Amino acid sequence: MIVEKQLLRQSFSRAAPRYDAVADFQREAGRRLMAACNPEYSPLHVLDAGCGTGHGLQLIAQRWPEASLLGLDFAAPMLARLPAGATALCGDIEQLPLADASVDLVWSSLAMQWCDTSRVIGEVHRVLRSGGHFALCTLGPATFVELRRAFAGVDRFRHTNDFIDIDTLRLTLEDAGLMSAKLQRVEMVRHYPDLRSLLASVRDLGANHVAASNRRPGLMGKAAWQRFAANYERMRTTAGLPLTYDTYFVLAKK
């Protein structure tokens, strides 16, 4: 697990210089998550757990300009791009370097899916004050379904990660003492003109690391690539080649 986390950190660190240029899905997800937040809630201390380059912190600062903002990410190069006014902290969302009951809102958009869900949610519960809110966006099992279909029969390797299903997520929240006030599932589909730009978008977001023992150890051969490309091309629509993000939006309360 330690090795996997190091590889994942390296993947997101490499992605940092290109991240903002390709993060349109992340920005849309952040806007949807903010829309789900309780308009009557006014947190004073907010943690963005897995903040990346700070898209969520910008939304939070606009919504709650009086709140103190802390952006935490385990990829240090991401933190160099945080908006002014936010305090940067390099750390792991599975082991938050914060005191118990120290924040009013934990915001986490598109970070938890790379982690141990129960550990993250347990840490969120620990650092939240009584009555505090948890605003979460994460990915479900239909994410990258097109990639799995296109690779089917091409080779024996694993090319995508497993993501949590909605019932398990709900139970994990409840077991930790967080009651979900809202839990919405949305399939957000992006389209690309060709396969190379689609794969580049995943790579440039740092989301191309596969945590599996049977992942491909190197590049595909020419024949395998051609079969993969042909399979994916059969899924083309008038909008282009699709790539699905099975997205959960959650608002929970301690």
* 15, 19, 64, 159, 196 from 203: Cα distances, Å: 7, 10, 33, 13, 10
Please, what's the b/e burial string for 26-55 (b: 16 or more CB within 10 A of its CB; e: otherwise)?
Answer: beebbebbbebbeeebebebbbbbbbbbbb
Structure-model confidence comparison of residues 17 and 138, the more confident one = 138
**pLDDT band at 127; cut points 50, 70, 90:** very high
pLDDT digit string, tens, across residues 57-74: 999 999 999 999 999 998
CATH number at residue 13: 3.40.50.150
Instruction: Please count the structural domains in the chain.
Output: 1
pLDDT digit string, tens, across residues 133-174: 999 999 999 999 999 999 887 877 666 678 899 999 999 999
Q: Are 46 and 98 in contact (CB under 8 A)?
A: no
Is the predicted pLDDT of residue 229 greater than 80, yes or no? yes
Give the pLDDT score at 8: 64
Domain residues for the domain of 43 are: 2-253
**Percent of the chain whose predicted confidence (pLDDT) is above 90:** 65
Structure-model confidence comparison of residues 12 and 243, the more confident one = 243
Q: What is the mean pLDDT of residues 19-43?
A: 87
* Predicted structure pTM score: 0.88
Give the pLDDT score at 34: 97
